[in-house]
Structures are given as C-alpha cells and as structure tokens.
Structure 1
Amino acid sequence: MEKRWVATIHLDTLKVEYDPTFKFKCVENCGKCCYELEIPIRDEDIAQIEELGYNAWEFVDYEKMFYRGDKFLSYALKKRPFDGGCVFLDPGTLKCKIYNHRPLACRLYPFVFVKHGNKMEVYVKKDSFCPGINHPDGEPVTKEFLLREYGDVIEDYRRKVVNTGE
C-alpha cells in the first residue's frame, strides 16, 4: 500500500500539523471504494449492523480474512456476486444503505491512522481510483476537518493514551 503523510495529531494537546498542499473531498455518489476495496469488518461493526436487523451471514464474508503477520484481525465485508459491489451499496443510487452505521474502515477511507505514543499520524492511501484525493474543491486535513470527521475515533485514542500513560 502506497501512502502519503497528511497530518499529525498530538493526542495530549490536540495540536495538528498538516500538509497544506493536500486536499480531500468525498465525491457524492461515487462508490468506487465500495467496488475496489476489500473492507475489514470488526466485531464492533458486525454488532452495530446486526442492531439494524441484518444477520451477519448476509454481510460478512467468512472466506476472506485479514491478518497482521500471523495474527487474525477480521473477516471482510461481503461483495455482491453480480457486480462486485459492497452488499450495502445501492446499485441504482450508489449510496450506502447503512451510511450512518458503516464499518470503521469505510468511515476512515482513504485515511490511515497510525498511533505512535502520544501522536497519531494520518496518511492517505494513494489509490488511483479515488477521485476525492487532491480534489480541486477539497479541503486540507486540518484540526477542524479531523475533529469533524473523526472526532470520536481521535477521542478513543486520546482516552487510551491518558489511561495507559503512553
């Protein structure tokens, strides 16, 4: 995976350093990531989607697995057999049927968060199919952008830093 640094969040102070030359805008009704990516789905994601009334067998691909080294991380989100799109992507509108409850990997894409002690580095995956990367109408990955889009994720990491004293 080729990636590019776009920001660093200091978890203790919430100070953010960012690359002002990079901009991002999720292009509405694009859906390319829903076709192109294999999405890992965490146990928390599965429970959240099941609360919507879906059965895990409808959306978890138990044959595709994600590992880090020899450690099992998760299964994948299921794809439709007729077009390879995510099972939750409406093929007509290209909108996610569970958008407000989508898996964390979907929420984060195309960004990758990497924690190093009390800092969180933010990278963008350099996927050629994503039209939002360096979109002319995009916005830089500033503190405001990060807190608006990922405030809950950042707060979870901040709590872990405070509780473990990293």
Structure 2
Amino acid sequence: MKRWVATVDLVTLEVESDPTFKFKCIENCGLCCERLEIPLRDEDIERIEGLGYNTWEFVDYEKLFYRGDKFLGYAIKKNPVTDACVFLDPETKKCKIYNHRPLACRLYPFVFVKHGERMEIYIKEDSFCPGINHPDGKPVTKDFLMKEYWDIIEEYRQKVIHKGQKTQVNASV
C-alpha cells in the first residue's frame, strides 16, 4: 500500500506535503535489503560494473520486472545463505556499494510518480520498515527533498523545462 506524502511542482519547485508524515532511515537496519526484490536499471548495472563487479555477480537474470507489458529490468541477486542483497554485509548490515547503489535502493521507501509538470511522492508503507513515521524522523519538506533527492528532481525538471521550450518554439514557427 502506498500513501501520498508530497507533490513537487517541477517548474516552480513549490512543495506541498503531508506535515503528519516523518521518515528516518535507521542506520544498519538492512531490512529493505533483506525483504525486497530490487530492480536494476541499465544505468545501475553500468555504475556497479564500473566498481569492478561482473554482472554475473549481482544480476539475477531469472527475476524480471515489468510495468504492464514493458520490460523494466532484472533484479539484484540475493545472497544464497542470507537471502539478502548480495551487497549487504551480513555482519555490519552496511551496503558495500552504498554511494553507487541502485536508484530503487536510493528511493526506498519513497515512490516518485511524474504527472506532467508535477512529481507526486508516495511512501510505500511496508510494515517491516522502522523508519516510517519514526519519532525522530523528518517531515518530507522542500528542504528534505532538495537535500536527499535534488539530482533526481532536477533531472525530471530539466525534461519538463526543455519540453516546454520545444513546445514554445513549435508554437511560434
């Protein structure tokens, strides 16, 4: 189940958010790494290969992700002993590739959905995630979003701005 927590206007960067929701990622928790199937985009695979890993070490070619009939990608492999992500250190519960982790890992438990010039942000309300509505959590404000997800928001923002510029050019021709 997912719940709306914020909307970002990709042109003005105005943010509307649910002030009652808070989130804090609990360090060394690792529950999402253990319980979720993580999709890999081509960009994720290339970035991880750039660290010196071979795809056979981390891509599970038997688990496929689709949206409707569109193929999205493969899953990240699970450790056969722990059944957690192959990059989760079983002793420290830390990600071995944290700064290069897949986008799905970076976003979790948030889901970003673009609707025209707006980006809606939802929370995937998994009961196992202790950071959802954590008492020490932070609300999903503009500051929170810009600190944690500015590069992702800006990527979509540029697409909206460039699309608007192309539309204006076509209208004036």
TM-score range (shorter-chain normalised) is over 0.9
* AA matched with 1:120: M
Q: Tell me if 1:53 matches 2:57.
A: no
Say which structure is richer in helix. 2
Runs of 4+ that moved beyond 6 A: none
Q: TM-score, normalised by structure 1?
A: 0.98
Q: CA deviation at 1:104?
A: 0.2
* AA matched with 1:5: W
Alignment-derived partner of residue 159 in structure 1 = 158
Q: Could you say what the CA RMSD is over the residues aligned between the two structures, in angstroms?
A: 0.8
- In the TM superposition, 1:8-157 aligns within 5 A as 8-157=7-156
Q: Which protein shows a greater Rg?
A: 2
Q: Percent identity?
A: 75
Q: 1:14 is paired with a residue of what secondary structure? A: coil
Q: TM-score, normalised by structure 2?
A: 0.94
* AA matched with 2:155: D
Structure 1 segments unaligned to the other structure (5+ residues): none
Structure 2 segments unaligned to the other structure (5+ residues): 168-173
Q: CA deviation at 1:164?
A: 1.4
* AA matched with 1:117: G
* AA matched with 2:17: Y
Task: Give the Cα–Cα distance (whole angstroms) in 1 for the partners of residues 55 and 151 of structure 2.
Answer: 25
